[in-house]
C-alpha cells in the first residue's frame, strides 16, 4: 500500500505540474496584457505596472518565479484587486463553493441511486420508464439552462424560493437543483444498468433461496457490487460539479470562487486564473486518488488480485 501510494503521489505531482505548465504558457500566449484596458494611455505608467508584477521579464523567468512561489504556497497578488492576494480570495470564496459542490454531490448521489435502484427493481415497468425519462432530461439539459428554468418557474411564476445569494437554506435549493440534475441522471442510469446485471448473478439467486428479505438482498448484496461503476465516474462527476459551480455561482450571485474566476478571465488577471486552476486541479487529482481507494473498500477482490499477480 505504501508503494502504491508513493507511486500515485509522484504521478499526482507530475500531472499537476503539467497542468500548471500548460495553463501558464497558454494564458500568456493570448495577445494583450492585463493593463490594455486601463484608462490611462501613459506608456510609462503601464511599464511600471508590468515591472511591478514582473510581466516585463522573459516568460521562462516568470514561469520559474511562479513555481518558486508556488512551492511556498504563495499564489501571488491579484492584478486587478491590488489590495487582495489570491490566497485571500481562495480563503473567502472556496468554503462557499465547496459547500455548494458537496451538497450538490450528496443530492445527486442519493437521488441518482434511488432512481437507479427503483428502475432496476421495476424493470420495463412504468416506474422504470419514468425514472429513465427523468435521467434523459437531466443529461440533455445544461445546468445553466436548468437554472434559468428553475428561476422562472419557482422564483418568478411561483415565488417559493429566493433567486440570489447564499444566506439561508432556501437560497441553496435552486442552485443545488440546477447543478445536481446532470450528475443525478448519470448516476441513475449507471446504477440501473449495473443493478440489472448484478441481480442476475448466482449469489443473488442463492440469497433469495435462503429466504433473505428483499431489502437485505438489495442493500447488503446487490447494491454494494453495483456501486463500482458509479464510483468509477465519481471523480469526473466531482470535476464537472466543481467547475460547473462557476457558472451557477454567477447566475445566482453566490459569493464563491466562481465570481473571482469569471472576473479574472474577463480582466486577464493572471495570478487569479493560475491560482484557481492550480487549486482546483489539486483537489480533483486528490479526489481521483480517493476513488481508487474506494475500489478496495467496496471490492476486496481488487487487492487480492494484485497480491496474486505479485
Q: Would you state the pLDDT for residue 307?
A: 44
- Report helix, strand or coil for 77: strand
Q: Is the pLDDT of residue 173 over 90?
A: yes
Beta-carbon count within 10 A of 65 CB: 13
Higher pLDDT, 293 or 92: 92
Confidence of residue 103 (pLDDT cuts 50, 70, 90): very high
pLDDT of residue 279: 87
**What pTM was estimated for this model as a whole?**
0.77
Is there a contact between 231 and 41 (Cβ–Cβ < 8 Å)?
no
Is pLDDT of 101 > 60? yes
- Res 298: pLDDT: 60
At residue 301 the predicted structure's pLDDT band, cuts being 50, 70 and 90, is low
Q: Summarize pLDDT for 253-299 with one digit per residue, the tens.
A: 888 888 788 888 877 888 888 988 888 888 888 877 777 776 666 66
pLDDT cut 90: percent of the chain above it: 17
Asked which of 31-35, 129-133, 162-166, 247-251 is least confident by mean pLDDT, the reply is 31-35
Mean per-residue pLDDT for 43-57?
A: 77
The residues with which 77 forms a beta bridge, in sequence order, are 85
CA distance 12 to 248: 29
Terminal-residue alpha carbon distance, the chain: 13
% of the chain surpassing 70 pLDDT: 90
Res 304: pLDDT: 42
Task: Report the alpha-carbon distance of residue 3 to residue 97 in Å, rounded.
Answer: 34
Query: How does pLDDT run across 71-82, given as a tens digit for each residue?
Result: 888 888 888 777
* pLDDT confidence tier of residue 211, bands split at 50, 70 and 90: confident
Q: What is the pLDDT of residues 104-163, one digit of tens each?
A: 999 999 999 998 888 888 888 888 888 888 888 888 888 889 999 999 999 989 889 988
Mean pLDDT of 296-305: 56
Amino acid at each position: 500500500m505504501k508503494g502504491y501510494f508513493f507511486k500515485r503521489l509522484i504521478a499526482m505531482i507530475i500531472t499537476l505540474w503539467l497542468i500548471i505548465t500548460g495553463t501558464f504558457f497558454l494564458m500568456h500566449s493570448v495577445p494583450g496584457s492585463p493593463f490594455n484596458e486601463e484608462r490611462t494611455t501613459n506608456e510609462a505608467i503601464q511599464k511600471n505596472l508590468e515591472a511591478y508584477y514582473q510581466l516585463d521579464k522573459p516568460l521562462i523567468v516568470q514561469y520559474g518565479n511562479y513555481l518558486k512561489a508556488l512551492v511556498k504556497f504563495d499564489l501571488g497578488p491579484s492584478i486587478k484587486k491590488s489590495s487582495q492576494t489570491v490566497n485571500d480570495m481562495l480563503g473567502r470564496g472556496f468554503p462557499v463553493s465547496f459547500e455548494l459542490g458537496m451538497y450538490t454531490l450528496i443530492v445527486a448521489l442519493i437521488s441518482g441511486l434511488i432512481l437507479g435502484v427503483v428502475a432496476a427493481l421495476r424493470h420495463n415497468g412504468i416506474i422504470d420508464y419514468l425514472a429513465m425519462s427523468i435521467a434523459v432530461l437531466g443529461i440533455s439539459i445544461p445546468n445553466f439552462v436548468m437554472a434559468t428554468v428553475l428561476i422562472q418557474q419557482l422564483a418568478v411564476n411561483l415565488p417559493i424560493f429566493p433567486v440570489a445569494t447564499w444566506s439561508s437554506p432556501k437560497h441553496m435549493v435552486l442552485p443545488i437543483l440546477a447543478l445536481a440534475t446532470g450528475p443525478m441522471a448519470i448516476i441513475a442510469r449507471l446504477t440501473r444498468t449495473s443493478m440489472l446485471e448484478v441481480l442476475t448473478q448466482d449469489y443473488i439467486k442463492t440469497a433469495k433461496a435462503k429466504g433473505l428479505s428483499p431489502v437485505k438482498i438489495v442493500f447488503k448484496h446487490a447494491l454494494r457490487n453495483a456501486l463500482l461503476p458509479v464510483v468509477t465516474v465519481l471523480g469526473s462527476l466531482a470535476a464537472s460539479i466543481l467547475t460547473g459551480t462557476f457558472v451557477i455561482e454567477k447566475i445566482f450571485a453566490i459569493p464563491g470562487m466562481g465570481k473571482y474566476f469569471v472576473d479574472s478571465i474577463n480582466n486577464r488577471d493572471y495570478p487569479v486564473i493560475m491560482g484557481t486552476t492550480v487549486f482546483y486541479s489539486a483537489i480533483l487529482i486528490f479526489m481521483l486518488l480517493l476513488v481508487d481507494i474506494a475500489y478496495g473498500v467496496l471490492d476486496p477482490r481488487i487487492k487480492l488480485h494484485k497480491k496474486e499477480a505479485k
